[in-house]
Structure formats: C-alpha cells, structure tokens
Amino acid sequence: MEKKIEDIKTDFENKLKDISDSTDLENLRVKFLGKKGIVTEIFSQMKNLGPLERKKIGPFINVLKNFILKEILQKKEKLRGFDLEKIVNSLKPFDVSRPAKFGGGSYHPITLIQEEVEEIFRSMGFIIEEFPEVVDEYQCFESINIPEHHPARDMQDTYYLSNSKVLKTHTSAAQNDIMRKYGAPLKAIFPGRCFRNESTDSSHETTFFQMEGMMIDDNVSISNLIYFMKIMLSEVFKKAVKIRLRPGFFPFVEPGFELDIECLICGGNGCSSCKNSGWIELCPCGMIHPNVLEMGGIDNKKYTGFAFGLGLTRLAMMKYSIKDIRDFNSGNLEILSQFFNV
Ligand code: DAH
C-alpha cells in the first residue's frame, strides 16, 4: 500500500510538470481528487485493511491528498501569472521581536494655525469657545444687526436647511450667545468652520475657517484692537508685520474696517499674490455696534468693544504658502502632511 501511494505521488508529479493550461489542470485535479479520483479510490480501499494497518496508512493518504491539493493550487496561481513560491522566497525574514513602527501622522494646516492663534490669545487672557455649525437665522443675522430683507444678507450666500436653520456663514453667528453667556467684561475668541454657497476657485471655497474675537470692557478703543492684532500677527509670522486699516462696512460694527497686512511674499513691492497692491486683506473688524451689545444683554452706555473675524484659512495660506484654497479639503496627504509648527 505504501508503495502504491508513493507511485501515485510520482505519477501526479510527472503529469503536473507537463500541464500548461488551467483546463488540463482541472482535469488533473478531478483525475486524482474527484469523486472517482485515484486518491478517493485509495481512501475507499482502506476499509479492506485491518485496524492496525488502517491506522498506519491513513496519515500517508492524507499527506498525499494535501500535497496534491497544494501543488494544484500553486500551479493554478502560477498559470495566472502569480508565482506564490517566488513571492514567498522574495520575502525578507520577519523579526517578530522588533518593536512596531507606525507611520507618523500629521496635523492639518488649519489645526496647526488654529492651535497657534488660540495659544497666543489665551496668553493674552482670552477665553476660547466652541460653537455649533448649524445655527438659526436669529443667531447668524438678526442678533448681530442684520434684519430680514437687509441687503447685507446677500453678501453671504447662505445654505438654508429644511428645519429653518442655516449653516453658519460666519463665526459672528456666535457673538450673541457668547455675550449672553459671559456678559461684560469679556475677552473671547471662537474659531469655527463656516459655509457659503460659492463657486469655488483657487481663492474661494464653500467651506472655510474663521476665528472670531471680541473684547468688551469699559474703555475699549480702536487702539486696543490694533494692538492685539499686531501682537497676534507678529507671533504667527515670527516677525513684526505692517498692518493698515481701511474703512469697511459690516452691520455689526461701527466703525468697521478691513485690516490688511503687508504682503509677506513680496515684502510690499507688489506681486501676483497681493494683486500688485503690496497688501493682503486678512481680518475685517471694528467697534461693536451698540445695537449688537444691547441685543447681547450688555449695557452699551457703560461698555464698548471691538470684534474681528480673522480668516483662519487665509492666514494658513499665507503662513504655509498654500496657493490653492481647495487643497485644504482635498484630503491629499502629500500636500497636507508637510506642515508643522516650530
Ligand atoms: N462676519 C464677517 C464675515 O464673515 C467678518 C467680520 C467683519 C467679523 C467685521 C467681525 C467684524 O467680527 O467686526 O464676512
């Protein structure tokens, strides 16, 4: 019996050698392992053996069967152009005792800039508040002096949700709640993601980040605003930056300004990034409108304050020289994983 098993194995090996297509291979499998195959046949002959011999021969036939199965599978992969043996041989020995090494992750540039700016304001005594992305129209508009039908609502292409809520178009939507929560005096920043229904290009996105800031006290003036902005920007860019204020209209501030910084790419000489003006618009701001203070429950006879809406995404673009705003949401790790703060 043992000799017979040995012969079957040799016979199989010889036949396998000559096979060069998968149909022949399948036929070979049936011939040896099929219902009436040679190996199946020899299994059925076991019943003619005595118990001792059966115990001895059984494992031999099993080994033969597994051998044939494995060879057929390997040949199948080889015919498909997948040489398992070659692959296994090419693998480097694996050292199981080696400590695991994970690929290093990275922070998104918006996270980096947000944490950096938060830290700067925290060190100047500001609190940091989070605020939902879905708000109601009162929060987003009315409570900050943009009544219904006011033309200023058209300045922001709002996403309206079916439950009569809106996606926050600006972080100013949190001003009213935060004034009501903390009262005056107040020093707070509140970063967040904002949404606008815009056509996208290299400088416009439907989703972007802002950081709103408010300082309210009994003697706050425009010079306080300039001071805090200058400190923050020179910390972010690690050098003194020149800023200028231009008049700007926003219903929630009076007077309102556009704060520009000198273009850091050309040093103010004019280049394509600053549209040859030497300046980049970074942070609209102003003195909080008395109506807004009042709606926030703050005595506007006693207190004044400034507010600003820093473009976090724009700041990140400048700090990290990212030319296309769409890169932020692209999920492209080759671009997004190269930034870090020093
Ligand atoms: N919320 C305004 C916007 O996104 C930006 C802004 C302007 C915020 C002036 C302010 C401000 O706090 O004082 O268009």
User: How remote is the CA of residue 284 from the centroid of ligand 1, in Å?
Assistant: 5
Residue 295, both tokens: 């709606």
Task: Give start and end residues of each alpha helix (H) in the chain.
Answer: 2-18, 22-33, 38-44, 51-79, 84-90, 109-123, 137-140, 175-182, 222-237, 290-295, 312-319, 333-336
Strand partners, 204: 201
Taking only the tens place, the pLDDT of each residue in 190-244 is: 999 999 998 999 889 999 999 999 999 999 999 999 999 999 999 988 888 899 9
Q: From the CB of 288, is ligand 1 less than 6 Å away?
A: no
Instruction: Please name the residue whose Cα sits nearest to atom 11 of ligand 1.
Output: 285
User: How remote is the CA of residue 280 from the centroid of ligand 1, in Å?
Assistant: 16
Distance CA 48, CA 4 (A): 15
Dmax (CA) for the chain in angstroms is 110
Question: Which domains can be identified in the chain, with CATH numbers?
Answer: 2-79 (no CATH), 109-339 (3.30.930.10)
Distance CA 282, CA 95 (A): 54
Taking only the tens place, the pLDDT of each residue in 56-68 is: 888 889 999 999 9
Distance CA 80, CA 82 (A): 5
Q: From the CB of 109, is ligand 1 less than 6 Å away?
A: no
| Residue pointed to by tokens 């070979």 | 28
Q: From the CB of 232, is ligand 1 less than 6 Å away?
A: no
| Eight-state DSSP code of residue 254 | E
Taking only the tens place, the pLDDT of each residue in 99-126 is: 776 667 889 999 999 999 999 999 999 9
Tell me if the pTM is above 0.85. no
